[in-house]
Every structure is written in structure tokens, then in C-alpha cells.
Homo-oligomer: A and B are copies of this chain.
Amino acid sequence: MKQQEFEQKVKYFHENMPPQCPILYSMKIIGSKWKIPVMWYLMLNDGQHYNELKRSIGSITNTMLTKSLRELEEDGLLERHSKGTVPPSVTYHLTDTGKNLIYTMGDLFEWGKSLMEKQQ
């Protein structure tokens, strides 16, 4: 990245900044401990059931998985599909907004990866 590109980006940020910072807003939505893992394993295998997802993630508790799913649903990053049967059958699906988020994370993935490699 050139200095000039950076300055253009700064200018763009400045001119397009709404009252509340969109980055902080995004971080609030995806910043809690299990949000990224949930989105991640749903990305790898969309439409997983609750317990399937729980096994994929591994160490998450019911409390936190439920809480994360509810919040992500409320923010429109995923959808909950229930069949309403007994026993229950519920699957979770990324929305376009959710997929866009994952896609958006590509650059941060690269940034973190190169920093990891630099630090060891």
C-alpha cells in the first residue's frame, strides 16, 4: 500500500463518517467471544442443526451458543428455521448480510495472518 492510497482512504472515511462509527458498530455486533466461530462454522457448513453446530465449535456452552445465535439472528446475520415438530428440528442459515460479513473479513484474515507470521 502506498502512502497516497492511505491518505485517500482517510479522506474517504472522514467524508463518509456517520454520527456513530460503523467500525465500532460492526465490532459490537461481532465482537463478543463466539460470534466469529459461530459464523465461521456456519459458513463451512450452512444449515447445521443446533447440536451439530455445538459439536463443530467444540467448547461452547449451551448458554453462549443460544445467546450468540439469538443476537446474530436479531442483527440479521443468520436465520433460524424451525420445523415445529416433536422432537424439534432447527437449522441455522447465513443470510446475505452474514455472507457479506464473512467475505468482508478476507482482508482482516490476511492482515492477521501476516502479523502472526511476523511475530514468531
Contact = CB atoms under 8 A, between A and B. Distances in A.
Describe A's contact surface by its main secondary structure: helix
A114 to B, nearest CB: 8
A14 B40 CA distance: 10
A5 interface: yes
A29 B103 contact: no
A67 interface: no
A100 B107 CA distance: 10
A113 interface: yes
B22 A36 contact: no
21 contacts: A5-B103, A6-B103, A9-B103, A13-B43, A13-B109, A22-B109, A23-B36, A23-B40, A23-B108, A23-B112, A25-B115, A26-B111, A26-B112, A27-B31, A27-B36, A75-B119, A76-B118, A104-B107, A106-B107, A107-B107, A108-B108
Interface of A: 1, 5-6, 9-10, 12-14, 16, 18, 20-27, 29, 31, 36-37, 40, 43-44, 75-76, 96-97, 99-113, 115-116, 118-119
Given A9-B103, A75-B119, 14 more contacts: A9-B106, A10-B43, A13-B109, A16-B109, A21-B36, A22-B109, A22-B115, A22-B116, A23-B40, A25-B116, A29-B115, A76-B118, A106-B107, A107-B107
